[in-house]
Structure 1
């Protein structure tokens, strides 16, 4: 039987496994992940802020997998394409005929001194929960320290996840202040971003809405301010040093280090793939999701790595494997942009959907929850949606 091996149970890997399982191929399907659960990456920001429980963004594995999938709980260390095998940290070696690499993302510090040591990323469930715990510890500590920096939070970088974290934080802070009996008016949240432009996926109208929303909720946004260095409780720019005891790092992400460790030609651990989502020199190795770069038609740069493109890449890669096994021609990947939704806490947000249709405020926040529920439905079905969904059915 043909051996199909999938590395990573994020949006792309889990979707690929589920679609493959329903194709009824004469093949074994093996899914490998370091965790015994899939987590919703787009919902990590509210977990970090403490407005959602960690359990609410998790789908346990393997119980939410189709029976046809062999799940291995293991950490991938290296991909050996010459011998068509994958090494795991526990010493196992897995053979494959077709390989789907969807190993996910890591925090990107761009070589800024001290960033990885002193700032907290939000890239997986463990790191999101670490941010939540750290934040609560600082507020608790304020009662004895009276240190203003215990109530200061600096978000480094103004990426998509940065705004969703700050939006959730705005929801949480009043309750947090009340719980730890700290003065609400002394809480200070700042975001420091190197570029002048933010949220390029939205037009000026929606971007200005986000800026005004932050201003209305006393969140300071500093654009055009590159970070030169991070020290313990300090963010240093060209002309000023900002202090806070909570530093959150959301400047960007890169693909899994396994990509570079395995000798792939890559940039920030993303591999430029063909239009069929495979490697130029190996048509049976597909890369999808955060480790993959697909050039946009007519543009010199690839598509941004998002949840919706991960889903679509998974389905396209599976379709091409099925085409090979059934003697059909492969098809090129065509991305269908369904729109973009940014949540700002439970009651606000912005969205561009169905072409240029725009949403602001509460309707956008509802759309965000609808999209999150759709992800659960696609990944695990109706029963999981009833159990883990965000909107009551």
Structure 2
């Protein structure tokens, strides 16, 4: 019997498992994940801000896996391709005939001194909860300390996830201020970004809408300001030092370090794969999601890593493995871009959908919720959606 291993239960890995289960293959399919749950990565900003509870974004595993998929909770340390094995921490290696690598991402500090030690990333459920708890602790501490830095929050980097966090945070701050009896105008939030521009996926109209929204909510955006160093309670740039007792790092991400540990040629732990999503020199190993780079047609650079592309890559990789086992031809990956939506809290946002159609305001934020719920439905089904209370906004 053919052994198929899937590493990682994020968007890509979980989707691949579901597609393979539908194929009714003569194969032993095992999904390996560090945690016994799947979570919606696109909701981490809201978890970190405290506007969404974890039960809204978590699906327990293996309870929500389709029949025919075995689940193993373990930490992957290395892929041993010569022996067709996956090495696990404190566990015996597992053999594979086909391998789908969907191990996700980690925070990227770009070598900035102090970033890893003193700044908090938002790249997993645990890190998002840590940010939420830290902000609340600083606000609580202010009642005794009266230290203005307890009420200062610096977000380093203006990436997509950073702006969604700032949007959710702006919605939460009035409630936090009231709870801790803090004047709202004493809370300081700023975002420091090295590049001159933000949100390259949007045009100037939508980008300016986001900038105006941030200003209206008293969030200072500093672009063209590279960060030189992060200290315990400060961010240092060329121009000045900004102090705060909450420093959040959202400058970018890279793929799982397992990629480098496995000796795969990569750039920031993303591997350039073929059009079939496998390795050029090993057709049995597929890489999808945040650890994979797929060149855009006619372009010298790959698609950006997003939830929707990970979802579609999971489908393609699973279909190509099934094609091999059924003695059918493989198909190349074709990305169907459904658009991009940036939420600014739960009542505002911007979107580019169906080509160049633009939305902003409440309609964009509503579309974001529809997209997130559709993703969960396709991953787990309506039963799980109702069980986890995802429809209570309707």
One fold, TM greater than 0.5?
yes
Alignment size in residue pairs? 393
SS in 1 for 2:309: helix
Residue in 2 that maps onto 1:353:
353
**After superposition, what is the alpha-carbon deviation per residue over 1:235-272, rounded to whole angstroms, capped at 9, x for unaligned?**
00011100000000000000000000111111100000
Does structure 2 conserve the Cα–Cα contact (< 8 Å) formed by 1:373 and 1:389? Answer: no
Residue in 2 that maps onto 1:75:
75
Residue in 1 that maps onto 2:326:
326
Does structure 2 conserve the Cα–Cα contact (< 8 Å) formed by 1:370 and 1:391? Answer: no
Which residues in structure 2 correspond to 1:301-380 (within 5 Å)?
301-380=301-380
What is the rounded CA distance, in whole Å, between the counterparts of 2:262 and 2:322 in structure 1?
Answer: 26
Does structure 2 conserve the Cα–Cα contact (< 8 Å) formed by 1:289 and 1:310? Answer: yes
Does structure 2 conserve the Cα–Cα contact (< 8 Å) formed by 1:149 and 1:245? Answer: yes
Which residues in structure 2 correspond to 1:164-313 (within 5 Å)?
164-313=164-313
Does structure 2 conserve the Cα–Cα contact (< 8 Å) formed by 1:78 and 1:88? Answer: yes
**Normalising to structure 1: TM-score of the pair?**
0.99
Residue in 2 that maps onto 1:117:
117
What is the rounded CA distance, in whole Å, between the counterparts of 2:338 and 2:161 in structure 1?
Answer: 19
Does structure 1 conserve the Cα–Cα contact (< 8 Å) formed by 2:259 and 2:270? Answer: yes
Does structure 2 conserve the Cα–Cα contact (< 8 Å) formed by 1:104 and 1:290? Answer: yes
Residue in 1 that maps onto 2:99:
99
**Normalising to structure 2: TM-score of the pair?**
0.99
What is the rounded CA distance, in whole Å, between the counterparts of 1:255 and 1:172 in structure 2?
Answer: 31
Measured after TM superposition, the shift of residue 390 of structure 1 is 3.6
SS in 2 for 1:92: strand
Measured after TM superposition, the shift of residue 368 of structure 1 is 0.5
**After superposition, what is the alpha-carbon deviation per residue over 1:189-225, rounded to whole angstroms, capped at 9, x for unaligned?**
0000000110001111110100000000000000000
What is the rounded CA distance, in whole Å, between the counterparts of 2:181 and 2:264 in structure 1?
Answer: 52
What is the rounded CA distance, in whole Å, between the counterparts of 1:276 and 1:34 in structure 2?
Answer: 27
Q: Does 1:16 align with 2:20?
A: no
Measured after TM superposition, the shift of residue 356 of structure 1 is 1.1
More deviation in 382-391 or 186-195? 382-391
SS in 1 for 2:91: coil
Does structure 1 conserve the Cα–Cα contact (< 8 Å) formed by 2:385 and 2:391? Answer: no
Q: Which runs of 5+ in 2 are unaligned?
A: none
Measured after TM superposition, the shift of residue 389 of structure 1 is 5.5
Structural RMSD (CA): 0.8
What is the rounded CA distance, in whole Å, between the counterparts of 1:141 and 1:62 in structure 2?
Answer: 40
**After superposition, what is the alpha-carbon deviation per residue over 1:274-307, rounded to whole angstroms, capped at 9, x for unaligned?**
0100000000100000000001111111100000
Does structure 2 conserve the Cα–Cα contact (< 8 Å) formed by 1:109 and 1:115? Answer: yes
What is the rounded CA distance, in whole Å, between the counterparts of 2:218 and 2:19 in structure 1?
Answer: 45
Does structure 2 conserve the Cα–Cα contact (< 8 Å) formed by 1:233 and 1:247? Answer: yes
SS in 1 for 2:221: strand
Which residues in structure 2 correspond to 1:47-62 (within 5 Å)?
47-62=47-62
What is the rounded CA distance, in whole Å, between the counterparts of 2:170 and 2:276 in structure 1?
Answer: 43
Measured after TM superposition, the shift of residue 2 of structure 1 is 0.7
More deviation in 383-392 or 29-38? 383-392
Residue in 1 that maps onto 2:151:
151
Measured after TM superposition, the shift of residue 13 of structure 1 is 0.3
SS in 1 for 2:71: strand
What is the rounded CA distance, in whole Å, between the counterparts of 2:175 and 2:304 in structure 1?
Answer: 35
Residue in 2 that maps onto 1:46:
46
